[in-house]
């Protein structure tokens, strides 16, 4: 099958892949229709994701990860909020000099940040804090 002339390279590539994609989707639909009368158990692969995952035979090792706190201090402490203002402003000015940084927080942190912002030097007072 050849792709229609005048289409971009990506569109042509996608057009050529279309028959195989349609065939795979038809396989899944046939699989589901064959199993509709059977009892569903843990090994059933009726969902789209489960069916296609069962066809993939890559043996990938699971990744080992964990979520650890970034800082020892509480995130809502005055020290951490002030640090947030300083780091955000420095990062924004490094990436895009002249751009005004904006920090969005929930209501309790908004009140604390406004208190901190009022007590800081003038460059920090220019950082808009949105609720």
- pTM assigned to the model: 0.41
pLDDT tens digit sequence for 31-72? 888 888 888 887 788 888 888 888 877 777 777 776 666 778
pLDDT number for residue 86:
84
Write out the DSSP string of 54-115: HH----PPPP------S-SS-TTSHHHHHHHHHHHHHHHHHHSTTPPP-EE--HHHHHHHHH
Q: What are the C-alpha distances in Å from 18 to residues 11, 65, 73, 114, 131?
A: 10, 37, 53, 55, 47
Listed by start position, the domains of the chain span 9-55, 78-130
Residue pair 94/52 in contact (Cβ under 8 Å)? The answer is: no
């Amino acid at each position: 099958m050849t792709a229609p002339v005048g289409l971009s390279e990506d569109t042509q590539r996608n057009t050529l892949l279309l028959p195989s994609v349609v065939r795979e989707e038809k396989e899944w639909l046939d699989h589901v229709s064959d199993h509709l009368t059977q009892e569903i158990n843990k090994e059933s692969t009726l969902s789209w994701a489960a069916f296609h995952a069962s066809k993939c035979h890559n043996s990938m090792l699971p990744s080992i990860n964990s979520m650890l706190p970034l800082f020892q201090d509480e995130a809502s402490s005055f020290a951490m909020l002030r640090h947030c203002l300083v780091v955000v402003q420095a990062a924004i000015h490094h990436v895009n000099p002249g751009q005004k940084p904006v920090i969005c927080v929930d209501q309790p942190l908004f009140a604390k940040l406004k208190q901190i912002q009022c007590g800081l030097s003038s460059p920090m007072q220019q950082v808009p804090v949105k609720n």
